[in-house]
Structure 1
Amino acid sequence: MTSTTADVWLPFPAEGIDGLPEGFRYRRWDGEDEFPADPADCVFYVTPYMKSPALTVRPLARMPRLRVVQTLTAGIDHVLGGLGDLRPGVRLCNARGVHEASTAELALTLVLASLRGVPAMVRGQDEERWLGGFYPALADKSVLIVGYGAIGAAVEDRLVPFECGSVTRVARSARAHARGPVHALEDLPGLLGAADVVVLTTPLTERTRGLVDKDFLARMKDGALLVNVARGPVVDTAALLAELEAGRLRAALDVTDPEPLPPGHPLWHAPHVLITPHVGGSSSAFEPRAKRLLARQLTRFAAGDPVENTVLITE
């Protein structure tokens, strides 16, 4: 597939990525106003990382030779709006293998910090107050993981040493797993009431948008913790606010709807909520893993082999 007239757009400088195949012109573009070259020459587009959907899809309509769109995120919802501008046969690939460790690490951090009262203790330190007492432990708690894919499995990997009472898994459809059964989304209503902690790792799709609505939250047990490291619109913010303000549930959110959460939004100061600014994948683990993925993908592409992590092919 190599061609000296074919461009590859990358959000990193090509000289910083080991193992890139020869034969392409590598162009760096990370969302700047000016394109680095004529988009019509691009055959492999690696999207900018953590940029707006409008910016991410901006060059797509001008890329008639495009063969692959490679995201650097596990989710692909931010590029779906631009796929209608592409010719049939373009492969959309996600970054499976890049974010699992980092996102699962943050999910566990949010669970532990929320249960053990760390946010209140940090505020107490600022005010020189000693907030002793007993706090909930993760040990013996029942955990429900909603969205049992690669990230959900990585979350369970990190739960194992903490002696949870049980881990229940839910995915789009039921299947067997070495650790135990994976339930279908349709089974959720009957599972929520038994969970002390509910961790959301599901992708954002039309099926999961607003999944955590008033009914979902009402089925959670009193005092349960909702952790969202998926996408903000998976949760109905107004419904969650009502439960938080009533003091019935707790939440730890790496993603919100809207996002970024604007100043003055009531979620900032709702009781029993911990908010981090969508940093699940943004750690020191990201860049080296992303660069290794790009080197593998482009090597396969140059050799004419199928690329990995294909989520869909345009029609």
Structure 2
Amino acid sequence: MTHMPVVYATNAIHSDAMARLAPHVRLVIGADTSDETIRRHVEAADAVIVRAKLPDDVFAGTNRIRGVVRHGVGLDFIPVEAATAKGIPVANLPGSNANAVAEYVFSALFHLRRPLGRMDADLRASGWGSARGQADATIEIGPTTIGIVGVGTIGKRIAAIAQGFGMRVLGASRSGAPVPGVEIVQLETLFQESDAVVLACPLSDQTRGLVDAAMIGRMKPGAALINPARGPVVDTNALVAALASGRIVAALDVYDLQPVPAGSPLFDLDGLLMTPHVGGITSTSMRAMSLGAAEEILRVLRGEEPVNLVNPAYRLAKAG
């Protein structure tokens, strides 16, 4: 019987991708995402599809892994430097969930500005007049300013949708490169002038704690902060204080600790929408990400480099 390479997926993937892989590999899906489980499966795998945070030492003992593919975009789930040192190519899927995240941003913004769900509940519980009375306090987003921190693939998609609503769009990025329809400004200016601030930047040493008490203090009263990026980009204590005072509103899809601990003060705050890291997940994006990951895995197993290779320096370690 011909040996089939083992592909380990930290979490379930779309059925279409499973069907794509089935003739070529033995797919193993982890029962949980504990560090112990992940280490055990990685040790026995030829390639890995990543949807959960890998332990920093996950590649310490392996000499079998031929490639690692992120089921999505963010690379903070993968110890890329450790993989590079082992001669393991790492790939991600840029743009695969950009539209899902962008649509999440506007779903959250409408929830904060024109909460139809709350009106529906009030109409059913208290009647027509009570529900209708909420409308006077709602806000149209068209005449307002949105600031996007990080105008990469996701940020550009958010900007395009915002322009469709007629919003003024500000952007801040490390490169400062021009983006059509976006006014590139300093971060401080973006926070001062925006009615809604959206975080669309990766987590790095430069962005960790970027949105601190001083930056939040620059925001307009009543402004909205929306974070579908990574939790540690925001100083949670500073955000809790601002929300508790009623000075701003917010929507969070990501957190310092995930899942959010039961006793977190976040659960007691008004003016906060909380979702469980689902900004990039829809049936549409799941299929696209899973199929994209499957194709990259098959390339690696054929001895080819992935299309979206993120660590070309792996070649040096592999050659050595």
**Alignment correspondent of 1:217:** 216
1:108-133 Cα distance to aligned partner (Å, 9 max, x none):
10011101134643553564252323
**Alignment correspondent of 1:198:** 197
Task: Please report how far the alpha carbon of residue 272 of structure 1 lies from its aligned counterpart in structure 2 after TM superposition.
Answer: 1.3
Of 66-75 and 118-127, deviating more is 118-127
Distance (whole Å) between structure 2 residues aligned to residue 275 and residue 34 of structure 1: 29
Aligned 8 A contact 2:13 2:290 in 1: no
Distance (whole Å) between structure 1 residues aligned to residue 293 and residue 258 of structure 2: 28
Distance (whole Å) between structure 2 residues aligned to residue 13 and residue 255 of structure 1: 21
Q: Which amino acid aligns with 2:30?
A: D
Aligned 8 A contact 2:169 2:181 in 1: no
1:155 aligns with 2:154: no
* Structure with more helix by fraction: 2
Task: Please report how far the alpha carbon of residue 9 of structure 1 lies from its aligned counterpart in structure 2 after TM superposition.
Answer: 2.6
Partner SS, residue 69 of structure 1: strand
1:143 aligns with 2:139: no
Unaligned runs of 5+ in 1: none
Within a 5 Å distance, the mapping from 1:116-127 to structure 2 comes to 116-118=114-116, 120-121=118-119, 124-125=122-123, 127=125
Distance (whole Å) between structure 1 residues aligned to residue 15 and residue 266 of structure 2: 43
1:174 aligns with 2:138: no
Distance (whole Å) between structure 1 residues aligned to residue 202 and residue 256 of structure 2: 15
Distance (whole Å) between structure 1 residues aligned to residue 288 and residue 83 of structure 2: 30
C-alpha distance 88-241 of structure 1, shift in aligned 2 (>3 A)? same
Task: Please report how far the alpha carbon of residue 293 of structure 1 lies from its aligned counterpart in structure 2 after TM superposition.
Answer: 0.4
1:23-75 Cα distance to aligned partner (Å, 9 max, x none):
x533322354768997556342112x2x3544xx6753342132321111321
Q: Percent identity?
A: 28
Aligned 8 A contact 1:174 1:181 in 2: no
C-alpha distance 160-68 of structure 1, shift in aligned 2 (>3 A)? same
Aligned 8 A contact 1:103 1:151 in 2: yes
TM-score, scaled relative to structure 1: 0.83
**Alignment correspondent of 1:260:** 259
Distance (whole Å) between structure 2 residues aligned to residue 91 and residue 12 of structure 1: 22
**Alignment correspondent of 1:93:** 91
Distance (whole Å) between structure 1 residues aligned to residue 216 and residue 224 of structure 2: 10
Paired residues in the alignment total: 303
Task: Please report how far the alpha carbon of residue 100 of structure 1 lies from its aligned counterpart in structure 2 after TM superposition.
Answer: 1.0
Q: CA RMSD in A?
A: 3.1
C-alpha distance 278-40 of structure 1, shift in aligned 2 (>3 A)? closer
Of 133-142 and 305-314, deviating more is 305-314
Distance (whole Å) between structure 2 residues aligned to residue 226 and residue 216 of structure 1: 11
**Alignment correspondent of 2:26:** 26
Distance (whole Å) between structure 1 residues aligned to residue 41 and residue 258 of structure 2: 32
1:75 aligns with 2:77: no
**Alignment correspondent of 2:113:** 115
